[in-house]
Structure 1
Amino acid sequence: MEMHASYTSFVAVGDSFTEGMSDLMPDGSYRGWADLLAARLAARTPDFRYANLAVRGKLIGQIVDEQVAPAAAMRADVVTLVGGLNDALRPKVDMGRVRGLLTEAVEKLTPSCGRLVLMRSPGRNGPVMERFRPRMEELFAHIDQLAAQHGALVVDLYGAPVLGEPRMWDVDRLHLTAEGHRRVCEAVWQALGLPAENDWLAPLPPAPQPRWATRRVADARFARQHLVPWIGRRLTGRSSGDGRPAKRPELLPYETAPPTEQTPQP
Structure 2
Amino acid sequence: MKKIVLIFFILGSMFIGSFFYLELDLQKLLNISNTIAFVNERWLPPDTTILPARGLDILTTLAIAFLGTIIPAFFSFFCSFGGSHTTCFNRKLYAITRGVFGFFRAIPEIVLALIFIPTVGLGPLAGVLALSIHNFGVLGKLYSERLENINPGLKEALLMLGASKAAGTFFGIVPKALPNLIADTLYIFERNIRNSLILGFIGAGGIGQTLFIDFKVFDYEKVSKCKRFNFNAFFSPGGACQKIL
Give TM-score scaled by structure 1 length: 0.24
Normalized per residue, the structure richer in helix is 2
Question: Which is higher, the Rg of structure 1 or of structure 2?
Answer: 2
Normalized per residue, the structure richer in strand is 1
